[in-house]
């Protein structure tokens, strides 16, 4: 029974609370959060749930079908032990300090101790206004909630660190949104996702106190994060805050490398959307690369400067870490250890990126300059013709390395990844052939067994990703009251590295109609 969930609310128990209550919009000082209850909704209906997450919380998966479950994850019923609250944070948005932001439409319910003994905060996104809602309504629409729900779970199964999603409900209420910010507001279905993570603390939670010279609350928060999430940092001196930055940097580097591996573009890497645990957080106008274009950004708000484009994400993560370093400076009062931590991020990213690229190529490292050239060549050949990134890497594992094979015959699997293959020029094709030949020759030299190599490559080069058009199709159906495609994509993405022959259509190149369609190639922050 969901009523059996036991809560241990470290965050609200250990950190200072706002003295005021209620949803009145305000600047909240010297407090990490404000207590606020979710708004009741008219007619909650479960669209989908994650069976894995229900089990992680120690419940039976059939529990999701009980009426009591829906009432809880829609915010209509609070359980004993919950302590609903919205967190106070600030942030740099698109490079500029934005002041207080905070959970404007997310309400933390409380922390469940999961079956592994870890704390898991349940958080409702779209559950009504909070003191941090500013001029907005605190609500979310079905469109963006389907995207958050599916992508959180897909990322997890792809092996990318992420916050999780327990459930997706519609509220039975309408929410008005101007999807493209073009003066065409329309009513959409309201929805709530119950997100789950050990902690939702962001870089911005630190920045807000530093910006207000509130050293006391800043230290309180930093000590709390160290004690609960990084307890192995035992240094009693102020250097422990630099050690914290170093750990956050490591996790951030690892996360971004995984994004690059699977072709994910976050779309809004503001410092308020950067998790202190290195989890992918806040699925808004994110997108997946179909054709490999390092300059692509899905976010229409970012179309001009492309600050958050695919190929720039590691640099932006570093810029964000520098903001976190600035925020921690008052606790350390020395620049050097903080700078070292940033330097460590840069090195860690390079090392991990290199290992990741080697694994995608079926190599053990890129230490040999010939292997580094193969990696460079793979990334450049994909840009000589419009080439599907996911398909390219997956098919590379199927390229036959035997010496006797005709070179064009060998390259055939790779050519399947080219969009408009029929109109590819001879020069474009020969670039692919040259790459395949060089790659095969190197593999022959290394002498790895073909079957073993394919298996190891398949484990890092997914067959399926949550292509933008796929989520969009699921949204269109869900908006008509049919959640079956949400279920299907959730199930598809449970095993993204496995061949699923009856679902082969989802591994094909993006269909032509999706090339410029809203929701498939362009996404706004309106959600």
Does the annotation count 302 as an active-site position? Answer: no
**CA-CA distance, 527 to 155, in Å (whole number)?**
20
Interface map 278-297 toward Mg ion (x if CB under 5 A): ----x---------------
Nearest to 14 by CA among 85, 76, 69, 80: 85
* Nearest residue (CB) to ligand AMP, 132 versus 286: 132
Which residues does 396 contact at the CB level (< 8 Å), separation at least 6?
A: 360, 361, 362, 378, 413, 414, 439, 457, 461
H helix or E strand, kind and range, residue 109: strand 106-113
Q: Which residue's Cβ lies closest to ligand AMP?
A: 104
Measured at the alpha carbon of residue 150, what is the angle toward residues 361 and 389, in degrees to the nearest 5?
Answer: 25
Beta-bridge partner residues of 125: 106, 193
Q: Which of 18, 272, 302, 371 is catalytic?
A: 272
Question: How many CB atoms are located within 10 Å of the residue 411 CB?
Answer: 25
**CA-CA distance, 444 to 442, in Å (whole number)?**
5
How many alpha carbons fall within 13 Å on the CB side of residue 284? 20
Q: Does 138 bind ligand AMP (CB under 6 A)?
A: yes
User: How far is residue 387 from each of residues 93, 184, 416, 433, 513, measured CA to CA in Å?
Assistant: 32, 35, 9, 14, 17
Q: Does 302 bind ligand AMP (CB under 6 A)?
A: no
Interface map 265-284 toward ligand AMP (x if CB under 6 A): ---x---xx--------x-x
Judged by beta carbon distances under 5 to 8 A according to partner kind, the member of ligand AMP, Mg ion, none in contact with residue 411 is none
Judged by beta carbon distances under 5 to 8 A according to partner kind, the member of Mg ion, ligand AMP, none in contact with residue 104 is ligand AMP
* Nearest residue (CB) to ligand AMP, 34 versus 133: 133
Query: Using CB under 5 A, which of the segments 244-252, 269-277, 321-329, 337-345 binds Mg ion?
Result: 269-277
Q: Does 258 bind Mg ion (CB under 5 A)?
A: no
Q: Does 55 bind ligand AMP (CB under 6 A)?
A: no
The size of the interface with ligand AMP (CB under 6 A), counted in residues, is 17
Q: Which two tokens stand for residue 22?
A: 């209620």
Judged by beta carbon distances under 5 to 8 A according to partner kind, the member of ligand AMP, Mg ion, none in contact with residue 268 is ligand AMP
Q: Which residue's Cβ lies closest to Mg ion?
A: 282
Q: Does 520 bind ligand AMP (CB under 6 A)?
A: no
Q: At closest approach, how far in Å is the CB of 177 from Mg ion?
A: 16
Active site residues: 272
- The residues that touch ligand AMP, with contacts defined as CB under 6 A, are 101-105, 132-133, 136-139, 268, 272-273, 282, 284, 525
């Amino acid at each position: 029974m969901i009523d059996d969930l036991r809560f241990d609310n470290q965050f609200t128990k250990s950190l200072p609370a706002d003295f005021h209550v209620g949803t009145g919009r305000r600047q909240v000082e010297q407090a990490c959060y404000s207590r606020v209850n979710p708004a009741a909704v008219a007619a909650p209906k479960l669209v989908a749930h994650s069976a894995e997450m229900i089990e992680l919380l120690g419940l039976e998966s059939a529990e999701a079908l009980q009426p009591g479950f829906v009432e809880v994850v829609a915010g209509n019923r609070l359980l004993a032990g919950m302590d609903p609250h919205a967190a106070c944070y600030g942030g740099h948005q698109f490079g500029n300090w934005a002041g207080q932001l905070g959970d404007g439409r997310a309400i933390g319910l409380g922390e469940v101790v999961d079956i592994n003994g870890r704390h898991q905060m349940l958080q409702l996104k779209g559950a009504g206004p909070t003191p941090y809602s500013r001029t907005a309504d605190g609500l979310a629409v079905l469109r963006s909630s389907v995207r958050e729900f599916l992508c959180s779970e897909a990322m997890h199964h792809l092996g990318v660190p992420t916050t999780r999603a327990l459930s997706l409900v519609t509220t039975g209420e309408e929410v008005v949104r101007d999807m493209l910010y073009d003066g065409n507001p329309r009513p959409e279905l309201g929805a709530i996702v119950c997100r789950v993570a050990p902690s939702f603390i962001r870089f911005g939670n630190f920045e807000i106190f530093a910006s207000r010279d509130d050293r006391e609350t800043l230290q309180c928060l930093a000590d709390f994060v160290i004690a609960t999430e990084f307890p192995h940092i035992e240094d009693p001196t102020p250097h422990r805050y630099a050690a914290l930055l170093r750990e956050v940097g490591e996790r951030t580097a690892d996360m971004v490398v995984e994004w690059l591996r699977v072709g994910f573009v976050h779309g809004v890497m503001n410092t308020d959307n950067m998790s202190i645990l290195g989890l992918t957080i806040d699925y808004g106008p994110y997108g997946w690369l179909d054709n490999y274009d390092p300059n692509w950004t899905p976010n229409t708000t970012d179309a001009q400067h492309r600050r958050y484009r695919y190929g720039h994400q590691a640099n932006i993560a570093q810029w964000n870490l520098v903001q976190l370093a600035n925020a921690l400076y008052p606790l350390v009062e020395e620049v050097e250890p903080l700078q070292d931590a940033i330097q460590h991020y840069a090195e860690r990213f390079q090392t991990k990126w290199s290992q990741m690229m080697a694994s995608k190529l079926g190599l053990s490292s890129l230490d040999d300059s010939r292997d580094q050239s193969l990696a460079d060549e793979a990334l450049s050949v994909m840009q000589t013709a419009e080439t599907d990134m996911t398909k390219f890497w997956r098919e590379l594992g199927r390229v036959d390395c035997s010496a006797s094979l005709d070179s064009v015959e060998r390259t055939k699997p790779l050519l399947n990844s080219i969009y408009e293959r029929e109109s590819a020029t001879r020069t474009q094709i020969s670039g692919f052939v040259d790459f395949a030949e060089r790659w095969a020759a190197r593999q022959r030299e290394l002498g790895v067994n073909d079957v073993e190599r394919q298996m190891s490559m398949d484990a890092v080069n997914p067959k399926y990703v949550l292509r933008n058009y796929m989520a969009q199709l699921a949204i269109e159906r869900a908006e008509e009251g049919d959640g079956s495609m949400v279920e299907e994509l959730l199930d598809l993405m449970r095993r993204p590295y496995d061949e699923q022959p009856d679902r082969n259509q989802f591994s094909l190149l993006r269909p032509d109609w999706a090339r410029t369609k809203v929701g498939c190639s362009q996404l706004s922050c309106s959600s």
